[in-house]
Chain A
Amino acid sequence: MLAYVIRRLLVSIVVLFFATVFVFLLVASSGNPLALLKANPHIPQSTIIARENLLHLNDPLWQRYWIWFSHAIRGDLGTTISGQNVWSEASSHLLVTLRMVIFATLIAIVLAITAGVVAAVRQNRLADHTITVTNFLLLATPVFVIGLALKEFVAIPINQHVGTTLFYTDGEQSPTLSGSFISRLPDYAEHTILPVLTLILVSYSAWAIYQRSSMIETLDADHVRLARAKGLSPRRVLIRHVLRNALIPVTTVVALDFAAVLGGAIITEIVFGWQGLGQWYLSGVTDLDTNVMLAYLLITATFVILFNLLADILYAFLDPRIRYG
């Protein structure tokens, strides 16, 4: 098992390296960061040339890559167009996003597994139909629609009805928030509920459909029949022999989907006005701020690769057959 983990770790590092190349190529091809400056007739040519040299824009591509890469490895991600330190900006935005993403993913996983199990065990009965219909509906609704719907049709009416703002729809905390962490918690919570709910609804539906399908397949399996024939209680059969086996494919799906969760987080941040990593990235793209774009893509790639590594390990833990492969 240890050998397997080490191997996967090494592969991950290699992949991360190639990811940096890919990310750099993508950003380098996205347009000239000085395009806006160039379009401005007031900026003298000398300033533009000076900036070009500063950003090494006239150097060959691989050299520019190496400059960026060698700095990035040491934690120096450069500055934004407006001169902020990319690394500190990125980390604070990252914490905001992580708050949303981690809660949402954990809750979605638990919900999805439960719903999938219930739907499979009560297949074709009312519970199954309700769950499946809900899932399909949620699946067919893009993130921004779910977010907007929650914002317009849940938050605002409820807030009006209750008389006070229970569900905040703009930002991750009140602007003048201060005080100890504990006292700030309710404020965080009220701001976090809807965005997290949006992400949950989106991820949960896909995973629940998948878990249900995996359970139904497993229920039919030969080893389940033998487990029943051994005289095990129905509950034990369900948990130890059906669920345990049906969880394996779902684990990899959830991990592979993590990139999607991050994508969804971008949209959720836009809809709810959170100062998260995704929203920062979007502004960076429209401003053609290359360091911001590179930082975001690098961070997300790292997270995705990390998650895939975790998925590999979890999969090997759950399924002994691949530990020695």
Chain B
Amino acid sequence: MPDPALQVEGLEVEFPTKAGTVHAVRGMDFSIAPGEVLGIVGESGSGKSVTALATMGLLPKSAIVRGSIRFDGRELLGLKEKQLAGVRGTGIAMIFQDPMTSLNPVYTIGWQIAEAIRAHQDIGKEAAQARAIELLAKVGIPNPAERVDNYPHEFSGGMRQRAVIAIGMANDPDVILADEPTTALDVTVQAQVLESLKTALSETGAALLLITHDLGVIAGLADRVIVMYAGRPVEVGTVDDVFYKPSMPYTLGLLGSLPRLDSDGTERLRQIPGSPPSMLGAPTGCPFAPRCPLRADICTTTEPPLVVVPSVDSVGGDHRAACHFAASVAAGEHGALFSDADAGVAAP
């Protein structure tokens, strides 16, 4: 078994605020094998972006980060900015959510790509420029030789995001972190951007950490998935495992809330009632309990650990879920957990 490209253990992130300490991430563990695509799914505020930012060391200075992030045999947590600069871009690259503001408006696209290249490779301006044109072509920008001298405001949103992907792949990173790369874009444009992302992966052979709240994107791209809720993983497994054998009520809720092409159109979308909890202070018990139809006394006192649950593929698959009733949920004993009748469940 080859060494993982990226390994995160016991990651905890806290932000001190005037109202108290916000526990954004409360214990993330995962590893990504080389070339693998790992998806992280969750609602806003679940801590998924914070996880990625922590990996790159891009959190605000006030953030308190604990745990271990190992890349290429090195511990990244605690490195100084200068040392991190040596890893960013060339070892781990990151793509952000909002293409409208990610690029610097005063430099041309080509200049910004070339800048990324020359930060890590010892090549001249013309060579870097030529490489930038190549990269733009690879991500599917038409007329790359002319477009390379455009400014960001002359690109559409989708094209900008693809330019950002080009920057991401410029130095052949081993891991790419994509933080909601398609969320700010129209659906048709999303497809193009995802294509570019796939190209980036095949060109560089990099592993991908794909963060999104869109299960459809996960289904199309990811090998494994982590479902995050309230700063913790609540279900982990291969895409097949999580989609076909969800073992945690929250996962069920997420899947059930998706509109399906094969439905007869008369069913209402199922919502999970209530809203995500405030991350101030440490919760007692399972953070999903207030919204969970299976809620029992034990749920409010003890936070369930990740336990192994059956996989689709009975051979090795590492499928785990954090629920006291994981086994029975996995066995499908609870039918339609979230239905109209649950609209009456009290919000927290």
Binding site for B on A (CB under 8 A): 221-223, 225-234, 236, 240-241, 244-245, 248, 318-321
The listed residue (B82, B93, B98) touching A229 by CB distance below 8 A is: B93
Q: How far is A227 from B94 in the complex, measured between Cα atoms in Å?
A: 10
A225 contacts across to B, CB distance below 8 A = 58, 96, 102
Nearest residue, chain B, Cβ from A319? B106
In the complex, are the beta carbons of B88 and A231 less than 8 A apart?
yes
* Those of B52-107 within 8 Å (CB) of chain A: 56, 58, 81-82, 85-90, 93-94, 96, 98, 101-106
Bound-state Cα–Cα, A225 to B87, Å: 15
Q: Are A228 and B58 in contact (CB under 8 A)?
A: yes
Task: Please name 12 pairs of A and B residues whose Cβ atoms are closer than 8 Å in the assembled complex, sorted by A.
Answer: A222-B102, A223-B103, A226-B104, A229-B93, A229-B94, A230-B115, A231-B86, A232-B89, A232-B119, A245-B104, A318-B106, A321-B153
Asked, given contacts A223-B105, A245-B106, A321-B151, whether A231 binds B96 with beta carbons under 8 Å apart, the answer is no
Q: A223-B104, A232-B115 are in contact. List 6 more A-B contacts (CB 8 A).
A: A221-B101, A222-B101, A229-B88, A230-B93, A231-B85, A244-B106
Q: Is the CB of A320 within 8 A of B153?
A: yes
Q: Is the CB of A223 within 8 A of B115?
A: no
Nearest A-chain residue to B117, judged by Cβ: A230
| Chain B 110-145 residues near chain A, CB threshold 8 A | 115-116, 119-120
Question: What residues on A are CB-neighbors of B103 within 8 Å?
Answer: 223, 226
Known: A245-B106, A319-B106. A230 touches B58 (CB 8 A): no
The reply to whether A229 and B89 form a contact with Cβ atoms under 8 Å apart is yes
State the interface size on chain B (CB cutoff 8 A). Answer: 29
- CB of B236 closer than 8 Å to a CB of A: no
Residues on the B chain within 8 Å of A244, using CB: 106
Residues of chain B contacted by A240 (CB below 8 angstroms):
115
Bound: A50/B103 CA distance, A: 71
Give B contacts to A, CB under 8 Å: 56, 58, 81-82, 85-90, 93-94, 96, 98, 101-106, 115-116, 119-120, 151, 153, 164, 167, 171
**A314 to B: closest C-beta gap in Å:** 13
Give min CB distance, B6 to chain A, whole Å. Answer: 15
Do residues B58 and A231 form an inter-chain contact, with CB atoms below 8 A? no
Q: How far is the CA of A233 from the CA of B85 in the complex (A)?
A: 6
Contact A228 B88 (CB under 8 A): yes
Please measure, in the bound complex, the distance between the C-alpha atom of A233 and the C-alpha atom of B80, giving whole angstroms: 11
Tell me whether A226 and B106 are in contact (CB under 8 A).
Answer: no
Which listed residue, A229, A234, A248, touches B81 by the CB 8 Å rule?
Answer: A234
| Inter-chain contact A321/B105, CB cutoff 8 Å | yes
Nearest residue (CB) in B for A236 is: B119
Q: Give the distance to chain B from A73, nearest Cβ to Cβ, in Å.
A: 40
Chain A residues near B98 (CB, 8 Å)?
A: 222
Across the interface, which residues of A come within 8 angstroms of B105, CB to CB?
223, 245, 319-321
**Considering only CB atoms, which chain A residue lies closest to B101 in the complex?**
A222
Question: Chain B residue with minimal CB distance to A225?
Answer: B58
* Contacting pair B151 A230 (CB below 8 A): no
CB-based A-B contact count at 8 angstroms: 78
Docked complex Cα distance between A236 and B116 (Å): 11
> Is A223 touching B81 in the complex (CB atoms < 8 A)?
no
A86 to B98, CA, bound (A): 60
| Residue of A with least CB distance to B108 | A320
Asked whether, in the complex, the Cβ of A231 is within 8 Å of the Cβ of B104, the reply is no
* Shortest distance from the beta carbon of A127 to any chain B beta carbon, whole Å: 16
A223 touches B89 (CB 8 A): no
Minimal beta-carbon separation of B36 from chain A (angstroms)? 21
B82:A233 contact, CB within 8 angstroms: yes
A223 to B89, CA, bound (A): 14
8 closest cross-chain pairs (CB), A and B: A231-B89, A231-B88, A222-B101, A223-B104, A229-B94, A230-B116, A230-B89, A320-B151
Pairwise interchain contact B164-A226, C-beta atoms closer than 8 A: yes
Chain B residues positioned under 8 Å from A236 (CB to CB):
119
Most buried by A among B88, B89, B106: B106
**Docked-complex contact B58 and A229, CB < 8 angstroms:** yes
Asked if A231 and B90 make an inter-chain contact with CB atoms under 8 angstroms apart, the answer reads: yes
Q: How far is the CB of A324 from chain B (nearest CB, A)?
A: 9
- Residues of chain A within 8 A (CB-CB) of B93 are 229-230
When distances are taken between beta carbons in the complex, the residues of chain A under 8 Å from B87 are: 231
Shortest C-beta distance, B283 to chain A (Å), equals 30
- How many angstroms from the CA of A227 to the CA of B112 in the assembled complex? 9
Q: From residue A226, how far is it (CB to closest CB) to chain B in Å? A: 5
- What residues on B are CB-neighbors of A231 within 8 Å? 85-90, 116, 119-120, 171
B222 CB, min distance to chain A CBs, angstroms: 22
Q: Are A223 and B119 in contact (CB under 8 A)?
A: no
Q: Give, as a whole number of angstroms, the nearest-CB distance from B329 to chain A.
A: 38
**Chain B nearest CB, measured from A221 CB (Å):** 7
A317 closest partner in B (C-beta): B106
Closest B-chain residue to A323, C-beta based? B151
The residues of A that contact B88 with a CB separation of less than 8 Å are 228-231
Contact B56 A229 (CB under 8 A): yes
Measured CB to CB, the nearest residue on chain B to A231 is: B89
Docked complex Cα distance between A164 and B116 (Å): 59
Note all chain B residues with C-beta closer than 8 A to A230: 88-89, 93, 115-116, 119, 167
CB closest chain-A residue, reference B116: A230
Residues of B within 8 A of A234 (CB): 81-82, 85
| Bound CA–CA A33/B174 (angstroms) | 82
Chain B neighbourhood of A222, CB < 8 A: 96, 98, 101-102
Q: Which residues of A contact B85 (CB under 8 A)?
A: 228, 231-234
| C-alpha gap A178/B48 in the complex (Å) | 76
Complex Cα spacing A240 to B116, Å: 13
Closest to B61 in A: A123
Select the residue from A222, A223, A231, A320 with max chain B CB neighbours within 10 A: A231
B102 neighbours in A (Cβ, 8 Å)? 222-223, 225-226
The answer on a CB contact under 8 Å between A226 and B96 is yes
